[in-house]
Structure 1
Amino acid sequence: MEGLLEFKRFSIDDINILYNWANDPETRMNSFHSDKIVYDEHVKWCETRLDVDNIAIYIVYKNDIPVGQLRLEYVDKKAYISYSVDKRYRGIGLGKKIIESIEKNELYKGHHIIELIGEVKEDNLASQKVFEYCLYTKYSKNNRIVFVKRLIK
């Protein structure tokens, strides 16, 4: 699947696609909160995050096809990363491209970010490989694997 990734800000029209991705069994298994998401709660969650400065949610497109999502939550000059790839497009390197695009496209621009942080479950080897490939520093904390990349030396 050749082509560049395009990041479009999440809108209310994207609620259903995000809901379906979030409830994918593998996504739930790799989430820190692995219970199935109730649709009404998902809608409320999305609505509270649409117009806030400290959260940016993107639907990721490749060749005009939605292939995944990226969420950046900004706290104290740090951007906490959450991402997922549509199950139909897993295993072809999109996770790596999504994480690389955060820096490449400066998706955190305007937030004075000095660190990018991803937290991964210990058994989520695919996401660990993504962050390792993207040269994030790895350490363990509270049964999680934390990946950090400093943007300012």
Structure 2
Amino acid sequence: MQVPIRLRPATLQDAELLLAWRNDLQTRLASHGTHEIPLAEHWAWLDLVLADPARRLLIAELDDVPVGSIRVDTASDDVAELSWTVAPSARGQGVGTRMLIAALSEVTGSVRAEVKIGNVASMKMAEAAGLVLVREEQGVLHYQKCLSGQARSQS
């Protein structure tokens, strides 16, 4: 039996961990922006994200050990846009798909995600979680999924 993934809201105490994950070379190559993020820029970004009611930044944990993050941004069209990072130490273990499925259980309505062509791990995650590829545009794959029902809380 697999240990369940737990999602919790990110806090300022997660800043260094999130920055380390974001500046990991493999993460940067899979991101829209591939430059290394300086600490001051990261702190400013995290402050904005945590203060924005239309954004949720979640930390995925296994046995209280952080293994990744998922950001859920609710756009003006009420579609949730998902973005994720799997911790370098947790890659290749199916953690990403599990945390994405857990995040989807907390969202209602429609979701979308953008994945750079060549990011095979995120393509597999999106498809395993039920997102459907709807188009490719300028080197980016656009996935969507329509969800129904009420959002459920992961305790």
**TM-score under structure 2 normalisation?**
0.89
Tell me how far apart the structure 2 counterparts of residues 141 and 149 of structure 1 sit (CA, whole Å). Answer: 18
Q: Deviations over 1:48-68 (max 9, x none)?
A: 111211100011110010111
The equivalent residue for 1:141 is 137
Runs of at least 5 residues in structure 1 that lack an aligned partner in the other structure: none
Q: Aligned pair count?
A: 147
Tell me how far apart the structure 2 counterparts of residues 147 and 53 of structure 1 sit (CA, whole Å). Answer: 24
The equivalent residue for 2:101 is 100
Tell me how far apart the structure 2 counterparts of residues 34 and 69 of structure 1 sit (CA, whole Å). Answer: 18
Tell me how far apart the structure 2 counterparts of residues 94 and 80 of structure 1 sit (CA, whole Å). Answer: 20
Runs of at least 5 residues in structure 2 that lack an aligned partner in the other structure: 150-155
- Secondary structure of the corresponding residue to residue 50 of structure 1: helix
The equivalent residue for 1:126 is 121
The equivalent residue for 2:79 is 78
Tell me how far apart the structure 1 counterparts of residues 2 and 104 of structure 2 sit (CA, whole Å). Answer: 20
The equivalent residue for 1:115 is 110
The Cα shift of 1:103 comes to 2.6
- Which 10-residue stretch deviates more, 94-103 or 56-65? 94-103
Tell me how far apart the structure 1 counterparts of residues 44 and 100 of structure 2 sit (CA, whole Å). Answer: 27
**Is the Cα contact below 8 Å between 2:70 and 2:103 reproduced in 1?**
no
Tell me how far apart the structure 2 counterparts of residues 127 and 46 of structure 1 sit (CA, whole Å). Answer: 23
The equivalent residue for 1:39 is 39
Q: Which amino acid aligns with 1:137?
A: V
Change (3 A) 1:114 1:25: same
Q: Which amino acid aligns with 1:147?
A: Y
Q: Deviations over 1:90-136 (max 9, x none)?
A: 001011101111232x1x3xxxx421111000010110011111221
Tell me how far apart the structure 2 counterparts of residues 130 and 11 of structure 1 sit (CA, whole Å). Answer: 25
User: CA RMSD for the aligned pairs?
Assistant: 1.6
Runs of 4+ in 1 over 2 A off after TM superposition: none
